[in-house]
């Protein structure tokens, strides 16, 4: 298996633009997590899905952020409109379950810079 795949690896955009980050989970993994990592705040959970259903989105910072998982093979995290403070590395991670405490496998991350 190729592991968790994220695209793009790097994204530079201007304030106000829409940004879409993509994640392809490991086949058969039922849990998908979106994290954000910054120097100031460390690694923070934004939202997670179980069997394509959003379970907890309490970490999503504000309404500008939205996430979807239309099928078991694909998830997106969208920021609209983007702001400079959204600059961070965004990670997607997946887990095979059945327990939420099972190991999470992280993708390589998307480094987002908002100018």
The contact set with another protein (CB under 8 A) reads 4, 31, 33, 42-45, 48, 50, 55-56, 91, 93, 99-101, 103-109
Residues in contact with 43: Cβ distance below 8 Å, sequence separation at least 6, in sequence order: 35, 36, 37, 91
CB of 16 to another protein, least distance (A): 27
Q: What's the gap between Cα 11 and its chain centre?
A: 14
**Residue (70 or 98) nearer to another protein, CB:** 98
**Residue (72 or 81) nearer to another protein, CB:** 72
Per the CB < 8 A criterion, the answer to whether 11 and 19 are in contact is yes
51 burial via Cβ count (<10 Å: 0-12, 13-18, 19+):
exposed
CB of 79 to another protein, least distance (A): 20
CB of 47 to another protein, least distance (A): 10
């Amino acid at each position: 298996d190729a592991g968790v795949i994220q695209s793009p690896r790097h994204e530079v955009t201007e304030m106000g633009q829409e940004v879409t980050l993509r994640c392809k989970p490991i086949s058969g993994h039922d849990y998908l997590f979106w994290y954000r990592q910054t120097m100031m705040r460390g690694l923070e959970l934004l939202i997670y899905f179980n069997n394509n259903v959003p379970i907890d989105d309490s970490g999503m910072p504000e309404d500008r952020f939205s996430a979807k998982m239309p099928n078991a093979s694909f998830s997106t995290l969208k920021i609209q409109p983007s702001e400079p403070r959204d600059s961070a590395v965004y990670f997607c991670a997946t887990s095979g379950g059945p327990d939420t405490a099972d190991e999470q496998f992280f993708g390589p991350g998307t480094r987002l810079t908002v100018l």
